[in-house]
Structure 1
């Protein structure tokens, strides 16, 4: 395919080549309206900035972006993203980089944000979270030549040679949780997951079902939206379907809090009749009664390593993915009783 030139864009937009040059290089000399029109035409024609142009000092934004496509109330409620973002900020500030965060309702909005950032040259690269099978965001980021780091495990459907991952041990952590529940004597287990379309959720579900079968446990999974209300209702549904005794793994501490409240409201004994495990550990798990057994991972450090990996990629085109540390299972009274 022939490379699109400034003259091609100028001809299609009905402007001069100099106006196109000003717009593409984010320089004064054209109005905001004309600049947006030129950038839209360039995008439609499939124009890509050359590596030389992208490396010019004037093209550098010294900013890293993160878009989270989840309901705002679920992001606000759980501790993971707060600590993850703090970790990212710590590394970026130390390297004189800015951080741009946006929360949207869909990946369509997320992809439009990437387009807007590319048009405005607002960011030098992005952290990509909640990766999913056949994820269209990867193609968009590569189309705009925005460096990215996938936080989590990319599915096999993403075959890009440019992908760079900070892999998380979701399968190993789930095995650790189920082995603990099996050791407590429970014969039935359930997993209240987050959105099943997310790759890390799929990997946890697969590990949950596989390990439950190997351990001889009856297993069931239900999808939720990460909210406390969903945790309470789905917990009641599971108890009605499976009976007790039952061990339940919750995808975060907010779901676990809802589940804990529902079990106590039913007058059921914890952990004798229902054992509870939270995938995330936070102060919430320690202040409730009984305290919640939880998977403890350093999400702040995860943010630090993700940001550091992206910064190393700038300029060097590093493509060596790395593995994040195995979390710890902190056993408390909700699963063993003391």
Structure 2
């Protein structure tokens, strides 16, 4: 078991390094190399193992924890309104037009609804990784784009929780209210712990840089696990765990020590994504894929640019924010 995991992981790393090196020579994003490496790995070994999935999930948690670590709550409040208003506007536009476009392409209503939902939700991990690589997580359009992603993730998470909690005869309003109440209580508890308990613990842990790293990882995983156990996503929990530490004077030291660890595990995530891609399915629906992709790449930047323009932002900020989440 251990030997098999070691050999498989070694093969994955060798293939990834080879393809990523070619991407560097071609001046392409390393993410492309990771996904292509995953396609090759998938062709050799199938769609991957549960161990690889677990390692990849750890990378996602680390990435979002570090995004939260770099967020200034004051700045988050500044872009909070525009993120919610424009984010919800983009969700409505993409879902409604996407549903109609899927119907026009010959899909039935149920399939069209699923396609519309898929088109509406951007990949948080891809967008955040690209912004991090370009150093644009603190740029205005980057902060707004991350706000959009949070709105999307929260809406998707709440919808899934409501659907999963519905039972015959249950009231949709009561179920939604119960979930919202649970979320508010959980966030309030986290804020209380962050304000009272966390600061002295961090100061104590910071006496040893090695222990500070271990403590930060433990805090991140504990909060993410608590959110998951209560029915929320580990991604949201990891992000809020990072926000809780964002005002700590040791946040830069924590961030610098986590970067190499994050990059390795995030690479595994994209390799896993590539290994699960079915080229046969893409080829069979190539026309549909191209048309729907064009709709997202052209429609999202335009609608976000219009929404942000109405709220007083420049066209450049609106266009880049829309293109980032496309």
TM-score, with length taken from structure 1: 0.24
Bigger proportion of residues as helix: 2
Q: Which has the larger radius of gyration?
A: 1
TM-score, with length taken from structure 2: 0.25
Higher RCO structure, 1 or 2 (CA under 8 Å, sep 6+): 2
